[in-house]
Each structure stands twice: as structure tokens, then as C-alpha cells.
């Protein structure tokens, strides 16, 4: 496996958010037009509709059972479409903002992408790199209202209901969103189950076409401790596809905060 392919492909979270920096920087200095009262009212309704879809998605994932999950550890196998050698991966999550993806690839070594709750960092066999400031740690953390609920409009600079589409034979409702970092994407939620089926990402400025993440597919879910967990996930890039198959999920196991801290550079 090529170094560049492994580094770009496996560090999904860091690459996606870092790409948003380019889009935000490109838009600086522009003065938005002031919307009319009628336009503002329609936009407000679209946001409310989108928020209801996201609320339903949380309920579909488990509702109260999901709220009781404080930590999650997942393990499994990862396959690259143009490589005959499968690798392994581990995911560690704590609270709404701390996460780590560890991928072990034969012949390439170990790759890590982590969020310590405020910043992203990456570590590969070719070096350690700090990521951008990520505020309170992600969409869920930004949306949390402190009372056990979520105000989704706080997590995005724009959010609206876009329409409907069919994804892999499933009818879905489509949401369009842009993060405060300027990263835009469409999310597809199953009309029948409420669960996410796909996220489709725009191409940010400064990111080469053959390096960008095009879409993220949730092909299969399993129920663990009353919670729906995506256990077959595909990351689709311009030239290759990564497939993650989860074989083990554990909830509410001890996970130390120190795990997410960026290592000291040597």
C-alpha cells in the first residue's frame, strides 16, 4: 500500500475537518446579503424540519439506551479495494468529544487519528501532526444543550431539508449542512428506520480530487446493548474504497482521558 493512500484514506476525521479550513478561509471577507423577513421565516422552518430528522436519528440509534453509553470500544477488520492484505482497526470513544481511530496495516504500520476534545491530531509511521482547533469537540458536543437534549442549529452554520433520494434501495430524506469550519455535506437518513445511510461530501478548496473523501456509507447495523451500531462502513474515495467491518463492540468500559492526548514529539 502506498504511504500517501494510507495516510489520506485512514485519517477520515482529521482530513475532513482540516479540509474545511480551506473552505472557510476562501470565504473570508465576503459580506452576506441581508435576508428578507419572508426568506428568514422559510429558512427557520427548513432548519426545524432538519432538526426533527436528526432527533429521529438519535431515537433510532437507541434513545435512552444511547444516552446511557458513556464510552465505546470497537474492533474489526479494514480492507482497501486495491490491496489483497486486510488490516485491523480499533475505535475508542468517550463522551461527546473524545475519539480515536487506530489502524494497523500490513507493510505500512500503525496510523492514528484522534480528537482530544478540543484539537485533532494524527500520527503515522512518517510523523506526528497536530490538527486544527475543533471547538468543543464536534457536532454532538456543539449541539448539546446541557439538559440532555440537542439544539442542532448550534452545531452547523447552515442546516436544511433538501429533499428525498434512494440509496442502495432505501428511500431516504436528505439534509444539507455546513459546519462552522466551512465543510459542506449532504446526509441521507432512511425514511423507514431513521438511521443514517450515507454522508456525501463536497470537494473543499485546496484538496486534490484523488485525495478527497467522496462519501461515507453505513451498509449494515447491529444492536448492541439496545443501541444501533454501524458495523459495515464504506469510505469511498476517487480511486479506492475502504471497508470497515466491526467484529466487537463494548460499551461503558474504562477508557482513560490520557489515551486521547497527543504524544510528545521526539
pLDDT score, position 98: 92
Q: What is the pLDDT of residues 235-265, one digit of tens each?
A: 998 888 999 999 999 999 999 999 999 988 7
pLDDT score, position 45: 67
User: Which three cell numbers mark 55?
Assistant: 432527533
**DSSP of 70-100, one letter per residue?**
-EEEEEEEEEETT-S--EEEEEEEETTTEEE
What CATH number does domain 3-26+40-249 carry, 3.40.50, 1.10.1760, 2.40.128, 2.50.20? 2.50.20
* C-alpha to C-alpha distance for 194 and 19, rounded to whole angstroms: 28
* C-alpha to C-alpha distance for 208 and 152, rounded to whole angstroms: 30
What predicted TM-score, i.e. pTM, was given to this entire model?
0.78
Q: What is the pLDDT of residues 3-51, one digit of tens each?
A: 333 333 333 333 333 333 233 223 333 334 444 554 455 655 678 899 9
- 12's CB contacts (< 8 A; 6+ apart) are 101, 113, 213, 216, 235
Domain boundaries, the chain: 3-26+40-249
**Nearest Cα to Cα of residue 72 among 89, 94, 90:** 94
Amino acid at each position: 500500500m502506498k504511504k500517501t493512500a494510507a495516510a489520506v484514506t485512514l485519517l477520515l476525521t482529521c482530513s475532513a475537518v482540516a479540509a474545511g479550513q480551506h473552505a472557510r478561509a476562501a470565504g473570508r471577507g465576503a459580506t452576506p446579503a441581508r435576508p428578507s423577513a419572508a426568506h428568514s421565516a422559510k429558512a427557520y422552518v427548513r432548519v426545524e424540519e432538519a432538526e426533527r430528522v436528526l432527533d429521529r436519528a438519535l431515537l433510532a440509534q437507541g434513545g435512552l439506551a444511547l444516552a446511557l453509553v458513556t464510552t465505546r470500544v470497537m474492533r474489526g477488520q479494514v480492507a482497501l479495494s486495491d490491496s489483497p492484505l486486510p488490516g485491523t482497526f480499533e475505535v475508542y470513544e468517550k463522551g461527546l468529544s473524545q475519539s480515536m481511530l487506530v489502524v494497523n496495516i500490513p507493510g505500512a504500520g500503525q496510523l492514528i487519528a484522534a480528537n482530544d476534545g478540543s484539537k485533532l491530531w494524527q500520527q503515522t509511521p512518517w510523523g506526528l501532526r497536530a490538527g486544527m482547533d475543533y471547538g468543543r469537540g464536534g457536532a454532538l458536543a456543539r449541539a448539546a444543550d446541557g439538559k440532555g437534549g440537542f439544539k442542532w442549529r448550534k452545531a452547523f452554520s447552515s442546516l436544511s431539508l433538501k429533499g428525498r433520494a434512494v440509496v442502495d434501495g432505501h428511500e431516504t430524506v436528505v439534509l444539507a449542512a455546513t459546519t462552522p469550519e466551512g465543510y459542506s455535506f449532504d446526509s441521507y437518513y432512511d425514511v423507514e428506520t431513521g438511521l443514517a445511510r450515507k454522508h456525501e461530501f463536497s470537494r473543499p478548496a485546496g484538496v486534490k480530487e484523488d485525495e478527497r473523501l467522496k462519501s461515507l456509507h453505513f451498509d449494515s447495523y447491529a444492536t448492541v446493548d439496545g443501541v444501533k451500531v454501524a458495523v459495515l462502513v464504506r469510505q469511498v474515495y476517487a480511486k479506492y474504497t475502504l471497508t470497515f467491518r466491526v467484529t466487537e463492540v463494548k460499551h461503558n468500559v474504562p477508557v482513560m482521558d490520557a489515551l486521547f492526548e497527543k504524544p510528545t514529539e521526539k
